[in-house]
Structure 1
Amino acid sequence: MPAMTYTLRWPDASETTAYSPSLVIQDYFAPGQAYALDDFLQKLREATGIANDRVRAKFGFACSRASDQLADIEARVARHAGQPGAQVQVLAFGPAD
């Protein structure tokens, strides 16, 4: 199963690289595009759910790394939630490490 990374820029201009066990992330986000926090989180939860379903179908269990990654991103979103107009920008997709 092809895995990937994706780089995010947060409202405070910090950048993080996240992991997905599936290329499905590319179906939900576009490099260079910025997303309102709520929209971003909704799309990410759906994409991560699909990725975990694919892993579960192939290996019999969900990807704990993807679940941990989602929890980390949810915490980052919560830190920026009070900022009017806050957005997350998807900078790039890359190969998994």
Structure 2
Amino acid sequence: MPEIRFLIEWPDGSQESCYSPSLIVKNYFTPDQDYELDDFVERSRTSLQIARDRVQAKFGRPCGLALGQLQQIEAMAARFNNLPQPSVRVIKFIE
């Protein structure tokens, strides 16, 4: 199963390399695009759950790394909920 990383920039300017066990994230994100924080989290949740389910269908168990990445994204996003109109930039895909 092809895996991919996507480089993002949080509202504070910090960057993070995120992991997906599936290329499905390419259907939810566009490089060099900004997403409102809530939209970014929801797109992450949807795409990483699909990726996790694909791994389970193929290998008989869900991908723990996808779940861990989602938890990391949700925890980090919570730090910025108090900002006015926070956004996350998807910088690029790393294949």
Q: TM range, normalised to the smaller chain?
A: over 0.9
Is 1:82 aligned to residue 62 of structure 2?
Answer: no
Q: Secondary structure at the match of 1:85?
A: coil
Gaps of 5+ in 1: none
Q: Secondary structure at the match of 2:89?
A: strand
| TM-score normalised by L of structure 1 | 0.96
What is the one-letter code of the residue matched to 1:7? L
Q: Secondary structure at the match of 1:91?
A: strand
Taking only the aligned residue pairs, the percentage that are identical comes to: 45
What is the one-letter code of the residue matched to 1:57? A
Shift of 1:85: 1.0
Aligned counterparts of 1:27 and 1:3: Cα–Cα separation in 2: 14
In the TM superposition, what whole-angstrom CA distance separates every residue of 1:34-61 from its partner, at most 9, and x where no partner exists? 0001111111111011101100000001
Alignment of 1:35-74 (within 5 A): 35-74=35-74
Shift of 1:14: 0.4
Aligned counterparts of 1:76 and 1:12: Cα–Cα separation in 2: 11
Runs of 4+ in 1 over 6 A off after TM superposition: none
Please provide the CA RMSD for this pair. 0.5
Q: Secondary structure at the match of 1:6?
A: strand
Q: Count residues in correspondence.
A: 95
Shift of 1:27: 0.2
In the TM superposition, what whole-angstrom CA distance separates every residue of 1:44-93 from its partner, at most 9, and x where no partner exists? 11101110110000000110011001101100100011100100000000
| TM-score normalised by L of structure 2 | 0.98
What is the one-letter code of the residue matched to 2:78? A
